[in-house]
């Protein structure tokens, strides 16, 4: 059974044991220097980093914790991501029991599911210390890039409740530090946090907010996952982990936070207080400009006795967040397939920043099928942000971008195969003429059928006969061809 990590330090200790964490004792500045070191480390396939001597601060900084496929899988409590995908598939296919004996057989499973729900506890390590008066001054918040508007908290899990239903939401939204008691709250307009804020604003009320840093390593991932609006990220995190997350009441707001968090920042956002936020070197690889966003007012800061400040940087891909995006690509394929069973696989290349490009393999069933898949995806949660969807046939390995380029460039006739659509675009998009609305492109690179107006007979791809391959396999070692040397 793989280990299920209930807090950050347990995970860091595990990574250190595996040679996957480096402690840095050399003094390093949180102003740009940590970014440069982290970016080089992630791009080079390097380890998680724990900066123990951050200039001007006594608190250590953990970064690049999720910066490899293996560490990302471990953070989810599995050895390989496929094991987590299998758990999700099992949940999706959980059929209602038919008979009484089948029902009895399900009882242990139901108990397991109950064990995954969040549990309220009376006290937690995240409240061992109370910073009085509340202040962010001691947090080693990074200024990431030269033109950034200031220091940004980049990996806070932001908790709110729907003012209407009380349902919890958790999302990772960046927070620009304005001063020791106020920050920005970068709730992009399409996100659930922003929706909660607008509902409160319509009622003329402020909204209570809590921000957790650290905690079970599954938590920041769950907070970035594109869940349906009313699905509680803490339930999802507990499900992924196979064990419920322990939650403790906040001190100044009516919210609960993970008891095992490293640091908790409590506060509120008023309905009438938006301020310029940014610029920020974003995950697109470009700066996002100064724009008005809500202001977060801090009412309490609590922490462990010896807290670790967990953060990340974004920038020109690939960066650490690419591995969070990769986990989403894998874990949400079963959900996509629930809506679209014809989808065989999908690839969201890291260079396209989660959503600029999706490559989808389908088992085509009818003429025009590829266009149907595009439109369905543009209507599916955060897939609405996809500026380009490429649809290929099921026999194309979409994980191999080289193969995709071969197939797509050969298969398309531009006038016939291009689908243009309009609608919302990501708030970070800088290409659309105006913010938030723009156009999207679908490319149907499937083999065309006569019913689709193609009468020339689609050519087969070239494959060698299996018996010839077998004969060559048998003689290969005697041929004296060293392929490694040839490269
Ligand atoms: C490192 C990182 C930083 C992010 N920063 C923001 C942000 O500032 N604003 C935002 O709206 N989304 C941001 N996101 C994306 C959201 O976390 C993501 O869209 C999530 O699904 C939102 O959850 P929600 O659907 O509950 O709103 C960030 C993601 C990552 C990985
Ligand atoms: Mn959500």
Task: Tell me what pLDDT residue 340 has.
Answer: 97
Task: Tell me what pLDDT residue 124 has.
Answer: 98
Ligand 1 pocket residue status of 193, Cβ below 6 Å: yes
Q: Which ligand is nearest to the CA of 323?
A: 1
Task: Tell me what pLDDT residue 190 has.
Answer: 98
99 compared with 444, residue with greater pLDDT: 444
Task: Tell me what pLDDT residue 101 has.
Answer: 80
**Closest atom of ligand 1 to CA, residue 320:** 1
Ligand 1 pocket residue status of 159, Cβ below 6 Å: no
Q: Which ligand is nearest to the CA of 229?
A: 2
Task: Tell me what pLDDT residue 298 has.
Answer: 99
Pocket test for ligand 1, best of 39, 162, 170, 224 (most atoms within 8 A of CB): 224
The answer to whether residue 179 is catalytic is: no
Q: Which ligand is nearest to the CA of 232?
A: 2
Ligand 1 pocket residue status of 280, Cβ below 6 Å: no
User: Which of 44-58, 267-281, 442-456, 472-486 is least confident?
Assistant: 472-486
Atom 6 (ligand 1) nearest CA: 173
Is the pLDDT at 487 greater than 60, yes or no?
no
Ligand 1 pocket residue status of 321, Cβ below 6 Å: yes
Is the pLDDT at 108 greater than 90, yes or no?
no
Task: Tell me what pLDDT residue 139 has.
Answer: 98
Ligand 1 pocket residue status of 314, Cβ below 6 Å: yes
Is the pLDDT at 360 greater than 90, yes or no?
yes
Instruction: Give the pLDDT confidence of 221-241 residue by residue, as tens digits.
Output: 999 999 999 999 999 999 999
User: Which of 110-124, 260-274, 277-291, 458-472 is least confident?
Assistant: 110-124
Task: Tell me what pLDDT residue 90 has.
Answer: 86
Read off the pLDDT of each residue in 137-151 and give the average, rounded to a whole number: 98
Task: Tell me what pLDDT residue 449 has.
Answer: 98
Instruction: Give the pLDDT confidence of 309-349 residue by residue, as tens digits.
Output: 999 999 999 999 999 999 999 999 999 999 999 999 999 99
Atom 16 (ligand 1) nearest CA: 224
Task: Tell me what pLDDT residue 363 has.
Answer: 98
Task: Tell me what pLDDT residue 254 has.
Answer: 98
Task: Tell me what pLDDT residue 92 has.
Answer: 83
Read off the pLDDT of each residue in 289-302 and give the average, rounded to a whole number: 98
Instruction: Give the pLDDT confidence of 171-205 residue by residue, as tens digits.
Output: 999 999 999 999 999 999 999 999 999 999 999 99
pTM of the model: 0.96
Ligand 1 pocket residue status of 407, Cβ below 6 Å: no
Distance (Å) from CA 22 to ligand 1 centroid? 27
Task: Tell me what pLDDT residue 1 has.
Answer: 60
One of 179, 230, 232, 282 is an active-site residue; which one? 282
Task: Tell me what pLDDT residue 302 has.
Answer: 98
Confidence of residue 91 (pLDDT cuts 50, 70, 90): confident
Ligand 1 pocket residue status of 46, Cβ below 6 Å: no
Pairing state between β 256-258 and 246-249: antiparallel
Task: Tell me what pLDDT residue 93 has.
Answer: 82
Pocket test for ligand 1, best of 35, 66, 152, 171 (most atoms within 8 A of CB): 171
């Amino acid at each position: 059974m793989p280990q299920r990590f209930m807090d950050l330090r347990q995970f860091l200790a595990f990574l250190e044991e595996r040679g996957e964490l480096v402690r840095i004792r050399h003094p390093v500045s949180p102003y740009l220097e940590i970014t440069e070191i982290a970016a080089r480390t992630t791009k080079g396939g390097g380890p998680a980093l724990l900066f123990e001597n951050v200039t001007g601060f006594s608190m250590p900084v953990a970064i690049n914790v999720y910066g490899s496929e293996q560490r990302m899988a471990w953070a989810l409590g599995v050895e390989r991501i496929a094991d987590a995908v299998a758990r999700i598939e099992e949940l999706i296919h959980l059929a209602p029991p038919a008979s009484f004996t089948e029902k009895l057989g399900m009882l242990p499973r139901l108990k397991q599911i109950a064990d995954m729900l969040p549990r309220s506890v009376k006290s937690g390590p995240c409240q061992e210390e109370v910073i009085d008066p509340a202040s962010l001054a001691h947090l080693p918040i990074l200024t990431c890039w030269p033109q950034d508007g200031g220091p940004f908290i980049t990996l806070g899990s932001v908790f709110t409740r729907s003012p209407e239903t009380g349902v919890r939401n958790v999302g990772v939204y960046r927070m620009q530090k304005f001063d020791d008691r106020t920050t920005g709250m970068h709730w992009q307009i399409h996100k659930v946090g922003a929706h909660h804020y607008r509902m409160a604003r319509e009622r003329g009320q402020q909204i209570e907010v809590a921000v957790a840093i650290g905690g079970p390593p599954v938590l920041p991932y769950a907070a970035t996952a594109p869940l349906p609006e009313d699905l509680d990220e803490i339930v999802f995190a507990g499900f992924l982990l196979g064990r419920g997350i322990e939650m403790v009441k906040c001190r100044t707001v009516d919210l609960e936070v993970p008891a095992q968090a490293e640091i908790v920042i409590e506060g509120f956002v008023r309905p009438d207080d938006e301020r310029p936020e940014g610029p920020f070197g974003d995950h697109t690889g470009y700066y996002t400009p100064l724009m008005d966003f809500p202001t977060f007012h801090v009412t309490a800061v609590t922490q462990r006795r010896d807290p670790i400040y967990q953060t990340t940087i974004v920038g020109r891909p690939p960066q650490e967040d690419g591995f969070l995006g990769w986990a989403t690509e894998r874990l949400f394929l079963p959900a996509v397939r629930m809506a679209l069973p014809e989808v065989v696989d999908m690839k969201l290349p890291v260079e396209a920043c989660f959503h600029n490009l999706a490559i989808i393999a389908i088992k085509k069933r009818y003429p025009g099928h590829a266009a149907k898949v595009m439109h369905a995806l543009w209507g599916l949660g955060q897939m609405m942000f996809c500026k380009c969807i490429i649809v290929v046939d099921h026999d194309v390995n979409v994980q191999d971008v080289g193969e995709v380029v071969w197939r797509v460039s050969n298969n398309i006739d531009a006038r016939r195969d291009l689908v243009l659509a309009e609608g919302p675009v990501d708030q970070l998009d800088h290409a659309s003429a105006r913010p938030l609305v723009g156009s999207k492109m679908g490319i149907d690179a499937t083999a065309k059928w006569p019913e689709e107006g193609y009468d020339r007979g689609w050519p087969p791809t070239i494959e060698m006969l299996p018996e010839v391959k077998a004969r060559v396999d048998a003689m290969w070692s005697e041929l004296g061809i060293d392929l490694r040397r040839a490269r």
